Amino acid sequence: MVMIPYRITSLSENDFYLCPVLIKTNLIMKTTRMKIFGKAGIIALLIIVFSAGFVSFNEDRDFKLLKNLDIYYSLFRELNVFYVDDIEPEKLIEISIDNMLQSLDPYTVYIPESEINDFNFATTGKYGGIGSLIRKNGDFAIISEIYKDSPSDRAGLKAGDIIQEIDGKSIMGLPLDKVSERLKGHPNTEVKIIVSRFGLDEPLTMILTRKKIHINSVPYWGMLNKNTGYIRLSNFTQDCSKEVKKALTHLEKTETMNSLILDLRGNSGGLLIEAVNITNFFVEKGQEIVSTKGKIKQFYKTYTATNTPVDLHIPLVVIVNRESASASEIVAGALQDIDRAVIIGTRTYGKGLVQTTRPLSYNSRLKLTTAKYYIPSGRCIQALDYTHRNDDGSVGYIPDSLISEFKTKNGRVVYDGGGISPDIEISLDKPSQLTIELFVNFMVFDFATRYSLTHDSILPPNEFVLTDEIYRDFIMFVKEQNFNYKTHTEQALRTLKETAKKEKYYKLSEDEFTALEEKLSHDLEQDMNIFNVEIRSLLKESIVNRYFYRAGRIQTSLDYDKQIKRACELFEDKNIYTAILNPSDQ
């Protein structure tokens, strides 16, 4: 393989000893012509040079590649010279790169220099800013969550505050990502913001000093009851295994703890090595955890437990759902294959691909899929087949005919090709349409804002009770906002009614339609009482979040969690737990 230097400022004929492919196709002459076209020509030249630098010397493949690169350059040249309006070379190139990569898989992406900070945050969980989440609120942005002990928290910002100005400039109509950019910045730099707050006639002016913000990968851990410990892991960013180990070590000091739940729900993954480190806490040193296989030898690697485990024997449950992916699936899948943990929840996402980042010129990067990973039983749990797309370009699941059977350490049957199937499958109940509408229309959020501004404190999450009085106040609040919604049944009836009118059947059944409308019409207060359990839980979480941050919200949500309840019940019967992991002993 011939490599070309990443940065090339000028080229002469002598420079091409680095790339014989270019010499034999006489592309040197083309580079001379490209000088006419300025920046566009340089970009096209770089594409040709960089691409050719990674080509093997298979004659047929070389010819096809260089032929199409030549066509691409010719096309770009014609656009630059003859298109009726001025073109933006960088924008066109970026669009063409993005579309090219979309034909591969969604994980192979080009990261321009302008997006490097966001990429670094995704892998490290760290950024420079004020430590809050924002969402759109009409023409402005609103603080939706405050991180504990962040500059936002210390300055007295509150969830529900509407941002009006940043550093003397109005943010009216500004897209949310641009608002975020203005709030972020280098640590120890100042940012001045003006916010309006419910209940105050005048806006508040605050000057905050940005800090290096670290979002904890373990937002909550603690004891669920006298015997069961709990750790929530939200992502696999750099050093997240240290956070898990810290939580686990503290829980191990609880004399009565004799079982543990590791919650990976909603965890879309991250760094592979962190998944290996976390699995290592529960398995023998030397145990294979995951292996990777790619097109080149560099990506053939086996990862084993290299450290002394923290606890080899504590009964362990891992909870997963459809949003558990990638590194989450490595942990859950490896612990399942080794028969070290019982998996509870729903089938995971099914991402069995590994990405690597490669540096490109001008501080940009390419994140590309370089390998597939295989957990200890030998299975790859990739669910979507990006290699064989349908005629319309869509991607299908790996067919059942190609799914293979594998065995865990104790001989249990498991399968590849579709994520991790839980040992005990439990789906959470879907919320009612009313609950969804109350949430997406910010009724719950806005009530929690008003509640927190009129109550200085509440009891701790495990003691706070959402009383009937609070819930009645919420119902009144929703009514005052003129909140209205349509159930799916009402929407379906409306569609049927419109169709009947178009087909001229409505007059024949008008009385029946009227009677059905009356019978199916909803009463807001009645519906809020029918679905009060799920609405109360959501409302309680939102209120607790204002006082005890993300950790408090998670702790509160566990009170209503069927999957958590099932895990605790499993620990109470050690015979069933053992029978799941080692059925041959029964």
**Do residues 238 and 271 touch, judged by C-beta distance below 8 A?**
yes
Quick check: 401 pLDDT over 70?
Answer: yes
Mean pLDDT of 13-22: 32
Mean pLDDT of 539-562: 96
pLDDT of residue 5: 32
Question: Of the listed 337, 339, 416, 561, which one is catalytic?
Answer: 337
Average pLDDT score, the chain: 87
| 253 catalytic per annotation | no
Question: Of the listed 152, 241, 324, 326, which one is catalytic?
Answer: 326
257-306 pLDDT, tens per residue?
999 999 999 999 999 999 999 999 999 999 999 999 999 988 999 999 99
Cα dihedral 507, 511, 517, 523 in deg (nearest 10)? 150
219-240 pLDDT, tens per residue?
999 999 999 999 999 999 999 9
Quick check: 495 pLDDT over 80?
Answer: yes
Give the closest residue to 264 by CA, choosing from 216, 310, 217, 321: 321
| 337 catalytic per annotation | yes
151-163 pLDDT, tens per residue?
999 999 999 999 9
366-386 pLDDT, tens per residue?
999 999 999 999 999 999 888
Grade residue 564 by pLDDT with cuts at 50, 70 and 90.
very high
Give the closest residue to 246 by CA, choosing from 220, 227, 264, 272: 220
What's the rounded Cα separation, in Å, for the pair 419 and 407?
Answer: 15
Grade residue 58 by pLDDT with cuts at 50, 70 and 90.
low
Grade residue 441 by pLDDT with cuts at 50, 70 and 90.
very high
Count of Cβ atoms closer than 10 Å to residue 424 Cβ: 16
Q: Mean pLDDT lowest for which of 358-362, 452-456, 574-578?
A: 358-362
pLDDT of residue 398: 79
| 400 catalytic per annotation | no
Grade residue 585 by pLDDT with cuts at 50, 70 and 90.
low
Domains and CATH numbers, the chain: 13-102 (no CATH), 126-214 (2.30.42.10), 220-425 (3.90.226.10), 433-570 (no CATH)
- Which two structure tokens, joined as six digits, stand for 340? 């070290």
200-217 pLDDT, tens per residue?
999 999 999 999 999 999
What's the rounded Cα separation, in Å, for the pair 147 and 211?
Answer: 12
Distance set, CA 570 to CA 194, 302, 341, 404, 566 (Å): 52, 33, 12, 29, 6
Quick check: 79 pLDDT over 80?
Answer: yes
What's the rounded Cα separation, in Å, for the pair 566 and 578?
Answer: 15
> Percentage of residues in the chain with pLDDT exceeding 70?
89
pLDDT of residue 55: 44
Number of residues written out for the chain:
586
Q: Is 292 helix (H, G, I), strand (E, B) or coil?
A: strand
What are the backbone angles phi and psi of residue 58, rounded to the nearest 5°? -80, 120
Grade residue 107 by pLDDT with cuts at 50, 70 and 90.
very high
pLDDT of residue 586: 56
88-104 pLDDT, tens per residue?
888 888 899 999 998 89
Question: Of the listed 30, 211, 245, 351, which one is catalytic?
Answer: 351
pLDDT of residue 179: 95
